[in-house]
Amino acid sequence: MTDDPRYPARIRLNRKPLGVIGTALLARRNVLELIPELALRQPMVSGRTGLRWHMVMDPDALRIVLKDRVEDYPKSLITQLILEPAIGQSLFVAEGAHWRWQRRAAAPAFAQRNVEALGPVMTAAAEASSRRLAQGGEVDVFAETVAATFDVISDVTFSGDEGFDRDAVHGAIDAYIAGAAKVSVLDIIGAPRWVPRLGRLSSGGDLRRMKRVADEAIRARARTGPRQVPDLLDLLRAGMDPETQRRMSGAELRDNLLTFIVAGHETTALTLAWALYLLAFDPEVQDRAAIEARAVLGARAATAADVPHLTYIRQIVEEALRLYPPAAFLSRTSRIHDRLGGREVRPGDTIVLPIYALHRHHMLWDDPDRFDPDRFAPGVERDRFAFLPFGAGPRICIGASFALQEAVIILATLVARLRFSLTARQPEPRMILTLRPHGGVWLRVAPRA
């Protein structure tokens, strides 16, 4: 990690060639350290570490991979090996026709009217989080945002059913990410999927427990019927592919619900924690945000109806997503001979999408390591494929509007009531499955006068 007082915490990228073992060891510590420094100034970087790979930072090439020829660039074997044991062939992992029908069946659940209807749960979580933080002192705000967003996702998924054991699911998710989500040497050299990755074999107990809890909650809902205000489980149970009339089976419901639980709380918690760190890093931005939040909210917590009026808070969320994108390192596999960024791509090549490098690229952003929410002010133009916190194209994150609404509601409520300042402990960006602050985000919290 680099230490420059002008910039918030950033990663020291790789400046020397790595062999297979070096690559695997570095990937297990911090995947983002695999990115060469050159990737911040070149549209594409290629190499070989067992497998041929190409890192793509060129927006035109990214448009081809993510939108124009998405079927030719499916998710990589590494992605499948890491995620399938936890979430099966759900939306995030599935390809082709199996992905398409699930996406069509799930889409109504994430329609804007349904996202807005879930706003009261987010408002309640924001209110509870502000009460806990109002006690003041030095606080790991990442631990707090994880608690707040997990409350939201479990409530909007299962309506707070007593049969849904939040602690068991949360513990299983953490254990899985800490162990099984790490890249192995076998992944780096391109060993076939039937060769066991020992680190993932040991996660079986945690995963079975997590799936059992979800299965029991789904069976209980089948007995009791839908809630008066439908939650995500109700909406997915009612969902149907309009082309095939197919509905999700119990196992498909479970895997997709677990996908939304994992993605729906982890990514938003990270965005909020990094946003609070950035506000502590720049008190002037924090004061400007507080003025907007207080003008819109007064003494109450934010609601879904307030989100369109909290424009500067939204800009802060987007700048946090630029500097610290939760999904900071993606990969695809080429099925075809192609040319991307002027380079030959062969079938079987790994296409790396280093979103962290894209968002800090010197050809795309002015002074890219600087924290500046005005990059996202209304009317500021940029290439659509230069900013990809939720991906793009047909596989763009189905829950993007849900995540943004939740982040704005919670951040506005907190910054209107509380002041955050830095401590001696600086967070270290470190990615395993998501871009987490290693050691937490420790800030000093005090009520605003």
* 216: number of Cβ within 10 Å: 15
Known catalytic membership, residue 371: no
Nearest to 388 by CA among 422, 358, 350: 358
Arithmetic mean of pLDDT, 345-365: 95
Q: Stretch 104-114: mean pLDDT, rounded?
A: 92
- Asked if residue 323 lies in contact with residue 279, where contact means CB atoms within 8 angstroms, the answer is no
| Measured distance CA(121)–CA(158) in Å, rounded | 12
Q: Is pLDDT at 378 greater than 70 in this prediction?
A: yes
Distance CA 266, CA 264 (A): 6
Share of the chain above pLDDT 90, in %: 58
Q: Which amino acid, one-letter code, is at 103?
A: R
Triad 158, 216, 176: Cα angle to 5°? 80
CB 403 within 8 A of CB 264: yes
| Region 392-415 average pLDDT | 96
Task: Choose the most confident range, by mean pLDDT, from 22-36, 68-82, 160-174, 339-353.
Answer: 339-353
Catalytic residue check, 390: yes
Residue 343: pLDDT over 60: yes
**What is the per-residue pLDDT for 6?**
87
| Identified catalytic residue from 49, 145, 267, 333 | 267
- Once rounded to an integer, what is the mean pLDDT over residues 338-357? 93
DSSP per residue over 114-183, as a string?
HHHHTHHHHHHHHHHHHHHHTT-EEEEHHHHHHHHHHHHHHHHHHTT-TTS-HHHHHHHHHHHHHHTTS-
pLDDT category at 1 given cuts 50, 70, 90 is low
**Residue 132: other Cβ atoms inside 10 A:** 12
Q: Is 397 annotated as a binding residue?
A: yes
- Which of 142, 164, 397, 434 is catalytic? The answer is 397
User: Which pair of structure tokens corresponds to residue 238?
Assistant: 């009612």
Average pLDDT over residues 237-249: 90
Average pLDDT, the chain: 87
Q: Is 303 a catalytic residue?
A: no
Which stretch of DSSP H or E encloses residue 55?
strand 51-56
Q: What is the rounded distance in angstroms from the CA atom of residue 293 to the CA atom of residue 303?
A: 12
Which residue among the candidates 390, 402, 413, 434 is catalytic per the annotation?
390
For each of the domains in the chain, give its residue range(s) and CATH number, in order of start.
20-447 (1.10.630.10)
| pLDDT per position as a tens digit, 162-207 | 556 667 777 777 777 666 555 544 454 455 554 444 455 555 677 7
The reported pLDDT for the residue numbered 24 is 64
Q: Which of 31-45, 125-139, 315-329 has the lowest mean pLDDT?
A: 31-45
Q: What is the pLDDT of residue 43?
A: 95
Per-residue pLDDT tens over the stretch 290-321: 999 999 999 999 999 999 999 999 999 999 99
Q: Do the Cβ atoms of 144 and 133 come closer than 8 Å? A: yes
Q: If you average pLDDT over residues 412-438, what whole number do you get?
A: 93
Q: What is the pLDDT of residue 169?
A: 74
> For tokens 């500021």, what's the residue?
380
CA 408/CA 414 separation, integer angstroms: 10
- Token digits of residue 151: 């409350």
